[in-house]
Structure 1
Amino acid sequence: MKRKVALACAICSNRNYATSKNASVSERLEMQKYCKICGKHTLHRETK
């Protein structure tokens, strides 16, 4: 079963992306994504 999650930039805390992940995984998702506010690739973390 998949669960929807939002990804927020670690620098500016802007929620830029929405994705899904496996519901059985308990750790938070982290990805390198492009932040249009910062203007560069930054670490994006899963938020509640």
Structure 2
Amino acid sequence: MNHMASKSADIRPGITLACTECKERNYITTKNRRNTPDRLELKKFCPRCGKQTVHRETR
């Protein structure tokens, strides 16, 4: 059995953050599934909108 990065990847999966206004996928980050089981929402700068907007986690 070869379990390379399964332990760390299970708890902290990589996610993409997309702008809720223009749907542009601007940021890639990781989140802790244990602390935030629901979808992540952060206010980040969207270069396409040219302002701070709410960015939501996409699959």
Larger-Rg structure = 2
Cα deviations by residue, 1:1-48 (Å, 9 ceiling, x for unpaired): 211000000000000001100123320000000000000000000000
Larger relative contact order, structure 1 or 2 (CA cutoff 8 Å, min sep 6): 1
* Higher strand content, 1 or 2: 1
Mind listing any 5+ residue stretches in structure 2 that lack a counterpart? 1-10
Give aligned-pair identity as a percent. 48
Aligned to 1:35: 46
Instruction: Provide the aligned C-alpha RMSD in A.
Output: 0.8
Mind listing any 5+ residue stretches in structure 1 that lack a counterpart? none
**TM-score (normalizing by structure 1):** 0.92
Q: How many residues align?
A: 48
